[in-house]
A and B are shown apart, each in its own frame.
Chain A
Amino acid sequence: MRSLHDPVLKVENLTMRFGGLVAVNDLSFSAGRGDITALIGPNGAGKTTVFNCITGFYKPTVGRIALRHGNLDFAQHIEALTDSDHGAYRGADGSLFLLERMPDFQISAKAHVARTFQNIRLFSGMTVLENLMVAQHNPLMTASNWTLGGLFGLAGFRRAENGAIEKAKYWLEKTKLIDRADDPAGDLPYGDQRRLEIARAMCTDPVLLCLDEPAAGLNPKESLELNTLLMSIREDHGTSLLLIEHDMSVVMQISDHVVVLDYGTKIADGTPEQVKSDPKVVAAYLGVPDDEVEAVEAEVGV
């Protein structure tokens, strides 16, 4: 499996406690480069918490979260980096980041991990196009010489801004939102808002895109379109995807690798076929004790 020999993300012994509650318990998994990795589990299993740890919104209680750019040898550098007090190592053949050591905004800006949110977080009073421009803040800020060049309207900044608009247009066309570019984001229907959030995340040029329940609330047609969009993000842009999803049809159709969480603990890890037939997973989803699993399985026909 690609997650073993060519990982982009490696989570090791991740534990997150909130007071007495253990939301994530000693979780280890990796996501392969160019893979679509699905993180699934019943409600409250701790999936969103894992995302929040990866993207720096929570500092994990224990654990190491490593992200790799390029072909750098993971095993060779990881221990040295962990022993140092740096958050990142940059070599000739790639970079390595320890995400648990970086502040949230740098995880997006430097490590290029982008995310969407379970309850959509758009800039609803700004237009669709503006949402995508905000996502390109860092490159535009550099192009505007930290505002000074932009204030005087230097040509370099204007060129960069036009480039940013072109990129936004590309993603708007890809997400079929181009006709609504000048409308406020808050005016869009729910399905469009979900796609806009993905387009916005993609405008940050992510290496790893984390999607928290992208298909929630979509109708079957929209859900199918989403699958196509996600496949194309992977094929055309080489972005690796990590997604949380409750809709099993989406998970089974598009993911290469599935990790199953229950009560914060990993109970299964493998290809969709392997996971689907895993009795523990069926039990977790149907909520029956282990010894009754077989009976239930026979009943539901898996």
Chain B
Amino acid sequence: MTSVTSSMAQAQPKIDFSRLFTDAILATLVALGLFGLLIGVKTDQSLNNQMILVLRPGLLALILAAVFVGRLTIGYIIAVRDARPPEAKKAKAAKSNTALWVEKYGLPVFVGFLFAYPLMVLYTAGPQGAIKWIDNFGIQILIYIMLGWGLNIVVGLAGLLDLGYVAFYAVGAYSYALLATSEPVKLFMAAHMGSTFWPLWAFWICLPIAGILAAFWGVILGFPVLRLRGDYLAIVTLAFGEIIRLVLINWVEFSNGYAGISSIPRPSFFGVPFNASDTGFAARFGLEFTPIYRTIFLFYLILILALITAFVSARLRRLPVGRAWEALREDEIACRSLGINTVNTKLTAFAIGAMFGGFAGAFFAARQGFISPESFVFLESAQILAIVVLGGMGSLMGVVIASILLVGGVELLRELDALKVIFGPNFDPAQYRMLIFGLCMVLMMLWKPRGLISVREPSVFLKEKKSVSSDHVKEGHG
């Protein structure tokens, strides 16, 4: 009995509570300074159109209390973690092969689930309800998974921090939209291949072109940033993303500016359109026409595009070029001393990452039927980057989990009627996306600073595949 209590007492770490309290009070004071005017006072209009000040002490007190309690909890968690004896930390590191296990078996299980998903939803929710679940959840999340896997090549493997990834998504989307709706191309195709050819096949022909153009722009971005590191690289890539968007807004003759491009042809089922006509998909296969078939088809299309991304990037990681990317992230100077052409290595990372962004963009344009520069704002880059960082840099399964959490989570909040009861009928969780991001990020930094799946799987092994703990893996200089 005594031995048990003594070991319990030993496990109980020493925590300096007075320091925690002063820390929390300090944070509360900072919050008071910040929110005192922002939230504590509100300008409003009185009945006779005069501006009046409304004081909101209750709300202010609520927020300050939240900050106090939050800071105290965070401080406590950190103190407990730091006070843990080193052996406990070691024991935890030894168990980390489970993450390798998730990476190995999680993906096949998840893919199996995804293939069954549309049918499951169709069965449970019926054709009317299913569209929402397949489109808003399935397709939306899969687009971000694909973008995350594409950006993972640049950020996770090569360690080059790219804040402008959405630019390549835009290049892909506009490449498809502009080519598919361009009059000269339409006329040319009508003259040579017949009038129905282009609307049916435009997507399949433009998809590779969109990828190639995006890869080309990846190289264009890559060249000027080759010598940049860290913050500088991040800023230039951010600016690049904004420049592409501003060009799309301002070069009206080319891209139709803010108005965007509409009536983009939708993808066909390899030449069979999804419409109610006699030659449409439903009629051909003897089915009753409903729009659900197109949605299901789009779901499988993005699923396969995403899987190609995953397959290629997993495969590249085991090839010399992928190993060179990771080596570049670890130590660029050592790479050069081993005869690796770091210029080419960086450019291939940018180009291949951008190519998958371009594919995803073309799919996005085809799915929406309408695009405008609004869809390619910095927030999108930030969201994709958040997915990669949250998932654990370099991990494929991590990106999946993070996309489901960040994209699916927000969609799911929209579904919760209980929230509407609490926050009023106009509550739209999508507007609180940044708040949710922020909370996720703070929690992550506390709980798993290197991402959800923070171990690295070796690309080759001699006897036994052991996971590499994130303590050794570098984040790269970008």
A residues at B contact (CB < 8 Å): 55, 57, 104-109, 114-115, 117, 121-127, 129-130, 133-138, 140-141, 144, 147, 150-151, 161, 165, 169, 178, 181-187, 200-201, 204
Contacts and interface: CB of A to CB of B under 8 A. Distances in A.
Contact of A182 (B337, B339, B341, B462): B462
Given A121-B334, A126-B326, 6 more contacts: A104-B336, A105-B341, A122-B334, A130-B460, A165-B460, A165-B462
Nearest to A178: B462
Contacts of B474: 124-125
A133 B469 contact: no
A117 B334 CA distance: 9
7 contacts: A125-B468, A127-B461, A130-B459, A147-B316, A150-B319, A165-B462, A185-B472
Given A126-B327, A141-B320, A115 B339 contact: no
B316 A124 contact: no
Nearest to B320: A140
A55 B460 contact: no
A133 B341 CA distance: 15
A184 B323 contact: no
Nearest to A109: B339
Contact of A123 (B320, B330, B466): B330
Given A121-B331, A124-B330, A126-B327, A133 B460 contact: yes
Contacts of A138: 339-340
Contacts of A136: 320
B227 to A, nearest CB: 14
Nearest to A115: B337
A206 B471 CA distance: 32
Interface string B307-346: 0000010011001110110110111011111111110000
Nearest to B315: A151
B323 A137 contact: yes
Contacts of A57: 333, 336-337
Contacts of A181: 461-463
A136 B465 CA distance: 21
Nearest to A148: B319
A137 B340 contact: yes
B319 A137 contact: no
Interface string B132-157: 00000000000000000000000000
Among A124, A126, A127, A147, the most chain B Cβ lie within 10 Å of the Cβ of A126
Contacts of B16: none
Among B326, B330, B342, B459, the most chain A Cβ lie within 10 Å of the Cβ of B330
Contacts of B348: 147
Contact of A150 (B320, B329, B464): B320
Contact of A134 (B316, B335, B462): B335
A115 B337 CA distance: 7
Contacts of A109: 339, 341
Contacts, number: 139
Contacts of A130: 323, 326, 458-460
B339 A108 contact: yes
B473 interface: yes
Given A127-B468, A182-B462, A151 B339 contact: no
Given A127-B468, A182-B462, A55 B337 contact: yes
B245 interface: no
B294 interface: no
Contact of A129 (B326, B327, B330, B461): B461
B367 interface: no
B71 interface: no
B468 A126 contact: yes
A200 B338 CA distance: 8
B456 interface: yes
A55 B312 CA distance: 35
A134 B315 contact: no
A182 B459 CA distance: 10
Given A127-B466, A182-B462, A147 B339 contact: no
B153 to A, nearest CB: 13
Contacts of B333: 57, 117, 121
Instruction: Across the A-B interface, give the 9 residue pairs with the lowest CB-CB distance, nearest first.
Output: A125-B473, A109-B339, A108-B339, A186-B472, A123-B330, A140-B320, A121-B334, A150-B319, A181-B462
A133 B468 CA distance: 16
B462 A126 contact: no
A186 B329 CA distance: 14
Given A55-B337, A165-B460, A141 B468 contact: no
B397 to A, nearest CB: 18
Contacts of B312: 151
Contacts of A106: 339
Nearest to B327: A134
A169 B461 CA distance: 11
Among A108, A114, A137, A187, the most chain B Cβ lie within 10 Å of the Cβ of A137
Contact of A114 (B316, B320, B337, B342): B337
A57 to B, nearest CB: 7
Contact of A105 (B327, B339, B458, B471): B339
Contacts of A204: 338-339
Given A122-B331, A204-B339, A144 B473 contact: no
A187 B474 CA distance: 14
A127 B469 CA distance: 11
A109 B342 CA distance: 12
A220 B44 CA distance: 80
A110 B329 CA distance: 24
Contacts of B339: 105-109, 137-138, 204
Contacts of A108: 336-339
A126 B335 contact: no
B395 to A, nearest CB: 13
A114 B459 CA distance: 24
A211 to B, nearest CB: 12
B462 A169 contact: yes
A137 B323 CA distance: 8
A170 to B, nearest CB: 12
Given A144-B319, A169-B462, A204-B339, A187 B472 contact: yes
A141 B312 CA distance: 17
A124 B324 contact: no
A138 B320 CA distance: 8
Given A105-B339, A114-B337, A127-B458, A137 B330 contact: no
A178 B462 CA distance: 9
Contacts of B331: 121-123
A127 to B, nearest CB: 5
Nearest to B470: A125
Contacts of A104: 336-337
A182 B334 contact: no
Contacts of B327: 123, 126, 134, 137
A200 B327 CA distance: 13
